[in-house]
Structure 1
Amino acid sequence: MIELQQGGNAAVDGTDASIRFEWSVPQGRDVEADASAYLLTATGRVRGDADMVFYNQPAGADGAVSFIADGSGRGRFRIDLALIPQSIERIVFCVTVHEAQAKGQTLALLDGATINVDAGGSSIRYRPTLAAASEAAMTFGELYRRNGQWKFRAVGQGFNGGLAPLASSFGIDVAEGAAPAAAPPPPPPPPVRLSKVTLDKPGQTVSLEKKGAAFGEIGVNLNWSRGRKGYFGGGTAIDLDLGCLYELQDGGIGVVQALGNAFGSFEEDPYIALSGDDRTGDVSQGETMRINGRRWQDIRRVIVFANIYDGVPNWQQTDGVVSVTMPDQPPIEVRMTEGRNDRRVCGVVMIENDAGRLKATRIVEYFRDQQKLDERFEWGLRWVAGRKD
């Protein structure tokens, strides 16, 4: 592990690099932060809006740079250095506090903020000093070319303002609201949309139209505050699991969850697959479920739930969030901001096929177990006791 100080640099070996962030927020503070990357030419600006890579535009440079969301805003960037166009001299990686001005927040609220670079079997780490930061945005570090060699530099340069002014400073045409109506041909590219869709009211819904023949891969991620994943009440480690009830258009019903090793299948019925099981809370990406949007016509409805399999139920302290993401669509977030600490299952969001559209409805109701969730929504499964191996 190479530890860098501000201004320090180190060579990046190999052609594949992973850039990941770590941070936590103080208990009880409503703080959201997001990571973003910008591909810059020798002018210090992007070639166009497609050179910004973040949660709402997760790929750039024809796939050479991609953002893998984890629902917390941290996520990670995957870089194929061999495919970066020669006109790109630097890739800068930034962190911004969401709605910082409205909430009176700064980067000082991010505890243990770190940028990590993993490439060629080696690791580089930089931890900027944020304790007295007055800014809401910062460039943590950058990848840059020097004599044909890629290097990483620890930057730690703050920026007044949030994500929109930061993106604008690199040459991004920002639109906070909906994109403007298309001009007569040839139309200009639409501005980058920085918005998220947050379902924070009981029964609130949002409908998304397909932008092509299919939605592509629909990702459902469960994450909870990394700073509080460790222990809740009495020193008992918590095991928070992601799962779903599903109903297909042909009437088939079932459950996808780690319990009973019912991990599902992406390419075959039910076209929903759970990617692993984080039993300790040590996986920064949380738990992710993949829905095959190419088979959206075969799916009728899905109820996403979170289950405290082990540990003392304490929903308020988990600060759990479920995110639904897909290409060319704004991410949908549902936070578990309340809870019944005598109940181990939270029905979080229902995803329905509404005449081809994707309709997401906030639930956030708490149940003793999955069977009670089933009964509430009249799913009709037969339940038996199960466990994880």
Structure 2
Amino acid sequence: MVEREIMMSLPMGANTSIGNPNTNVHVEFPAGSNIDITALQIYSGGKVRGDGDMCFYNQPSISDGAVKFEQTSTGATFFLNLSQIPQDAEKIVFTATTDDTNPFSALNGRLALSLDSTHIEISCEGREERALILAEIYKRNGAWKIRHVGQGFNGGLKAIAEHFGIEVAAPSDAPVTRPSPAPKTVAPPKVNLSKVSLTKNESRISLKKEDGRFGKIRVNLNWNQKKKSSGLFGMGKSGIDLDVGAFVEGIDGTVTAVQALGNTFGNYSSFPYAFLNGDDRTGATTDGEWLEINGEQWSKLRRVLVYAFIYEGSPDWRETDGAIRILVPDQPEIEVRMNEHGSRDGMCAVALLENEGGQIRVNRENRFFKGHRQMDEAYGWGMKWVAGRK
């Protein structure tokens, strides 16, 4: 009997060691998709040094053959000799870009990357970006590891190129069969357009900081600002008041809730190290509601459950078109959307932030409940609840 090698699925943000320095990275995408796969050799500061650090269809070999490229109709393969990578190179980043018109959500199929027995699945559902960092191979204490990144760029090829210090030449009037970037070293871009959208299949990401101090973590809730007809013959107009809040548990087991309901707005400088910055009652505020978490005190927190609840208006989450964004300094923006469910329950547990060895693991929840008490029981917070108003 022939034994089959067991593939290990690597979730977003996770990493694993690479045993053999002579290995291959395979990237698969649906046949007929107009996708370009690229490997970038990255140095200190997260940038390439020049043309010779970009391995793709127009330059299928870099670093004297340490990275070689081969493309087929359904993917690409990179042949790696990691022992020959320049000593001062810190990582190899694998990216995918679509054409200028279609986002990854338009793909009819999957996007996957594999190395030896490690498998990375990239969900394209809900992905409106046109460029993705699939994975990175990097050095840690002299050994090579691979990490599932899954980071998206709204600006497509240009945004992802500039992020790594590459300038993409403007298209000429002459017809070409494929876009051809002309990489060269440039100053770091002024705007980082990165974003990670957590979905059913890509539901988790880990945020890492060597010192465990994450700065000010900002959580934004925004939703559909349009009012709909209601009342007799549809003459009235009703809006939805969507509120953001959080259950917070300290490392010592102390628990509390931070929300406008009950005027428990929290405290940024002492426990719960979270503060609700205002309450948008109508959805008319352009940037919605903000919750701030003191990431400098992350070591004192065990977990934070970010939730949204419909305080007024029809309890139909598809109509809210609501989204939570989590912004952490020097980390990709994280987005979780709540418009894919038609639940009539008024409360949604959106994202769970957990302290794992001083780092932050963010998990997409999107679980719906009738109220605070039911959500509390589901997550085991153990708080006492009474009726409240704001």
Q: TM-score range by the shorter chain?
A: 0.5 to 0.7
Match in the other structure for 2:155: 163
SS in 2 for 1:260: coil
Structure 1 residue 337 displacement after superposition: 2.7
Q: Alpha carbons of 1:104 and 1:297: their partners in 2 closer, same or farther (altered >3 Å)?
A: closer
**Quick one: distance in 1 between partners of 2:162 and 2:223?**
32
SS in 1 for 2:262: helix
Task: Report the residue type matching 1:222 in the other structure.
Answer: L
Q: Is the Cα–Cα contact under 8 Å of residues 307 and 348 in structure 2 kept in the other structure?
A: yes
Q: Alpha carbons of 1:329 and 1:301: their partners in 2 closer, same or farther (altered >3 Å)?
A: same
Match in the other structure for 1:314: 316
Q: Is the Cα–Cα contact under 8 Å of residues 158 and 167 in structure 2 kept in the other structure?
A: no
**Quick one: distance in 2 between partners of 1:317 and 1:284?**
18
Q: Is the Cα–Cα contact under 8 Å of residues 299 and 353 in structure 1 kept in the other structure?
A: yes
Task: Report the residue type matching 2:337 in the other structure.
Answer: R
**Quick one: distance in 1 between partners of 2:99 and 2:194?**
11
Q: Which whole-Å deviations, capped at 9, do the CAs of 1:303-332 have from their partners, x for residues lacking one?
A: 111010011112102111101111110011
SS in 2 for 1:210: coil
Structure 1 residue 164 displacement after superposition: 4.5
Work out which of the residue numbers 353, 371, 376 in structure 2 matches 1:369.
371
Q: Is the Cα–Cα contact under 8 Å of residues 321 and 338 in structure 2 kept in the other structure?
A: yes
Match in the other structure for 1:76: none
Indicate yes or no: 2:268 matched with 1:271.
no
Q: Alpha carbons of 1:164 and 1:341: their partners in 2 closer, same or farther (altered >3 Å)?
A: closer
Q: Which whole-Å deviations, capped at 9, do the CAs of 1:163-197 have from their partners, x for residues lacking one?
A: 24555999982599xxxxxxxxxxx9888864321
**Quick one: distance in 2 between partners of 1:323 and 1:168?**
20
Q: Alpha carbons of 1:305 and 1:167: their partners in 2 closer, same or farther (altered >3 Å)?
A: closer
Q: Is the Cα–Cα contact under 8 Å of residues 163 and 188 in structure 2 kept in the other structure?
A: no
Q: Is the Cα–Cα contact under 8 Å of residues 316 and 338 in structure 1 kept in the other structure?
A: yes
Match in the other structure for 1:292: 294
Match in the other structure for 1:209: 208
Indicate yes or no: 2:389 matched with 1:387.
yes
**Quick one: distance in 1 between partners of 2:264 and 2:201?**
29
Indicate yes or no: 2:172 matched with 1:173.
no
Q: Alpha carbons of 1:340 and 1:175: their partners in 2 closer, same or farther (altered >3 Å)?
A: farther
Q: Percent identity?
A: 42
**Quick one: distance in 2 between partners of 1:381 and 1:362?**
23
Q: Alpha carbons of 1:304 and 1:203: their partners in 2 closer, same or farther (altered >3 Å)?
A: farther
Match in the other structure for 1:198: 197
Match in the other structure for 1:14: none
Structure 1 residue 204 displacement after superposition: 1.7
Q: Which whole-Å deviations, capped at 9, do the CAs of 1:265-301 have from their partners, x for residues lacking one?
A: 1011110000010001110110010000110010100
Q: Which whole-Å deviations, capped at 9, do the CAs of 1:84-128 have from their partners, x for residues lacking one?
A: xxxxxxxxxxxxxx98622499xxxxxxxxxxxxxxxxxxxxxxx
Q: Is the Cα–Cα contact under 8 Å of residues 202 and 362 in structure 1 kept in the other structure?
A: no
Indicate yes or no: 2:326 matched with 1:324.
yes
Structure 1 residue 365 displacement after superposition: 0.9
Q: Is the Cα–Cα contact under 8 Å of residues 163 and 192 in structure 2 kept in the other structure?
A: no
Q: Alpha carbons of 1:311 and 1:174: their partners in 2 closer, same or farther (altered >3 Å)?
A: farther
**Quick one: distance in 2 between partners of 1:378 and 1:224?**
28
Q: Which of the pair has the greater relative contact order for Cα pairs under 8 Å at 6+ separation?
A: 1
Match in the other structure for 1:101: 101
SS in 2 for 1:101: coil
Structure 1 residue 251 displacement after superposition: 0.9
Which TM-score applies when normalising by structure 2? 0.52
Match in the other structure for 2:353: 351
SS in 2 for 1:376: helix
Q: Is the Cα–Cα contact under 8 Å of residues 198 and 334 in structure 1 kept in the other structure?
A: yes
**Quick one: distance in 2 between partners of 1:103 and 1:232?**
33
Indicate yes or no: 2:226 matched with 1:222.
no
Structure 1 residue 339 displacement after superposition: 2.6
**Quick one: distance in 2 between partners of 1:342 and 1:213?**
39
Task: Report the residue type matching 2:371 in the other structure.
Answer: D
Question: What is the aligned-residue RMSD (CA, Å)?
Answer: 3.5
Query: Is there any run of 5+ residues in structure 2 with no aligned partner, and where?
Result: 1-46, 48-97, 106-129, 131-153, 169-185, 232-236
Alignment of 1:115-130 (within 5 A): none
Q: Which whole-Å deviations, capped at 9, do the CAs of 1:236-269 have from their partners, x for residues lacking one?
A: 2211000011100011001000000000010111
Task: Report the residue type matching 1:101 in the other structure.
Answer: T
Q: Is the Cα–Cα contact under 8 Å of residues 174 and 193 in structure 1 kept in the other structure?
A: no
Structure 1 residue 224 displacement after superposition: 1.4
Which TM-score applies when normalising by structure 1? 0.52
Structure 1 residue 231 displacement after superposition: 3.3
Number of residue pairs the alignment of both structures matches: 226
Q: Alpha carbons of 1:233 and 1:244: their partners in 2 closer, same or farther (altered >3 Å)?
A: farther
Q: Alpha carbons of 1:218 and 1:301: their partners in 2 closer, same or farther (altered >3 Å)?
A: same
